[in-house]
Amino acid sequence: MKTIFALCAALVFSNTAVADDDVDRLVGAMLGQTPIISDLQSLTDEVGGRVTGSPANEAAIEWALARFLQAEVPATKEAFEMPYQWQERGVSASISGDFGFTPRVIAKPFSTGADELAGPLVDGGMGSAADFARLGGSAEGAWVLVGTPELNDEIGLGGLFGEYSASTQTTALAIDAGAAGVVFMSSRPQNLLYRLPQLSAKDVLPILLMDREHAQRAQRLLRNGQSLTMTSTIDVDSGYAYESANVIGEIRGSESPEEIVVIGAHLDSHDLGTGALDNGSNVTMMIDIARQITRLGLKPKRTIRFALWNGEEQGLVGSWRYTQQHQDELDDHIMAASFDIGTGRLLGFYTGGMDDIIPMVNEYLQPVAGLDPFEHFNVPVVGTDNFDFMMEGVPNLIGHQADANYASNYHASSDTFDKVDQQQLKMNSAIVAALVWGFANSDDRLPRWSRSQIEELVNRTDLEKQMRDFGVWEDWASGNRGRQP
């Protein structure tokens, strides 16, 4: 009896308790025993790599709905159209001529298919304009082999962005030169292969990635004056629109349900590994935060949506579709945050050029001040699911995380469960829980930016270049994407 009375008293107390108490309980729960790690093992080992448009991706959608259901968090599947299917069925290449060998290759996402395409292999240096000028007419009808600087965890994310940018430029030069195809050298040693999508030039050229060791061997032979021919068969399933879906969990606000805070991570991954760092770890974080809020019976004032985006790797499609489908609600979107950098320590946030959001973030992180220091970067970043919120003027954040082992395993066969820093993922989940709780309960809110404010951001930053590198500039420039005037 006494126990029951004490429990009732505790419940009454919790109903009248101040919000600070709620956030402390939530943070404590996130740091305690939760199924976040077993969820992640299930998503990666059981569902596996889940490219949008594949059966495994469909299974991942059902997996996510079931996890939300189990946690008693209402969740829906929000279908949308993916504009362009691309799956690799099989790829092979062989090198012949003065010397012959069989390198390991894969197709870059959005490469065209090719049936026994043979051509001279030529040394394209680092794929710069000067390299193509040196090649002159010899690039025409040839496979152009392009070197890359080695990427490792010390170079980190900057190296990844550099690789995207360089490959975009090289592909454009190769098209102009009339090349038969481009062969990029893997930037990572030990025969590691990975998918780096060619988002800016879909279906225009056969584009391969060759393991670093064989690509360097070919490069050395070419530089010694040997002549080599490459023959490749690229079998891809590509080119048609199809249906996919986001999974949106929702905890409805108790006082201002029409005001919405979104935190999200993308459910899809590439197919070579099992998408543990990119981005299963943050998917399970979203589910676990929703689960603990529900389990503790906490009632946020505003609605919180836990978005598991799809089609992120094909051009940030799922979050784009969400901003289209929820256009009427965007004025009341208080904040949208994305988490997409594996399990490296959360160091702060990319705040997208919105000065006013920084003091709010700092205030909401107070309950996890023991996990600081936090430092924010007030710059816009293109490359994950904050993008369409940013271009719609919705206050948006990206978790800025330590590179840890993210870059070396990025989109690669090695992005698997064993690479996850389990303890850090737990700590990150506590930080994100405090942040979302702050945005969902504060009396403050920022207004949505106008079209002219967004244009001003584009003009004063490097957004255009970033958008070009990720193949989304045309959509913005043509008015297809972003806030309408």
Residues making contact with Zn ion (CB under 5 A): 278-279, 340
DSSP letters, 359-418, are HHHHHHTGGGGGG-----B-S---SSTTHHHHHTT--EEEEEE--TTTGGGTTBTT-SGG
| CB of 406 vs Zn ion, minimal distance in Å | 9
DSSP letters, 147-183, are ------TTTTHHHHHHHHHHHHHHHHHHHHTT-SEEE
Cis peptide, bond prior to residue 55, ω within 30 of zero: no
Q: Which is nearer to Zn ion, 157 or 330 (by Cβ)?
A: 157
3-state secondary structure 254-313: CCEEEEEEEEEEECCCCCCCCCHHHHHHHHHHHHHHHHHHHHCCCCCCEEEEEEEECCHH
Q: Which is nearer to Zn ion, 279 or 414 (by Cβ)?
A: 279
| CB of 278 vs Zn ion, minimal distance in Å | 4
Q: Which is nearer to Zn ion, 147 or 318 (by Cβ)?
A: 318
| CB of 384 vs Zn ion, minimal distance in Å | 6
Q: Which is nearer to Zn ion, 41 or 401 (by Cβ)?
A: 401
Phi, psi of 110 (to 5 degrees): 85, 10
CA distances from 400 to 42, 357, 379 (A): 26, 15, 11
Q: 107: which strand partners?
A: 208
Inter-axis angle of helices 19-31 and 422-441, nearest 10: 160
| R_g of the chain computed on alpha carbons | 24
Q: Which is nearer to Zn ion, 54 or 216 (by Cβ)?
A: 54
CA distances from 293 to 152, 298, 466 (A): 38, 5, 36
Kindly state the DSSP code that residue 419 receives in the 8-state scheme: G
Q: Which is nearer to Zn ion, 259 or 278 (by Cβ)?
A: 278
| CB of 404 vs Zn ion, minimal distance in Å | 14
| CB of 10 vs Zn ion, minimal distance in Å | 41
| CB of 265 vs Zn ion, minimal distance in Å | 8
| CB of 274 vs Zn ion, minimal distance in Å | 13
| CB of 413 vs Zn ion, minimal distance in Å | 16
| CB of 383 vs Zn ion, minimal distance in Å | 8
Residue with the two structure tokens 């360097």: 216
Q: Which is nearer to Zn ion, 132 or 389 (by Cβ)?
A: 389
Q: Which is nearer to Zn ion, 147 or 471 (by Cβ)?
A: 471
Name, in order, each residue with C-beta under 8 angstroms of 105's C-beta and a sequence gap of 6 or more: 91, 92, 93, 183, 193, 208, 209, 210, 211, 232
Q: Which is nearer to Zn ion, 147 or 273 (by Cβ)?
A: 273
Maximum alpha-carbon separation in the chain: 90
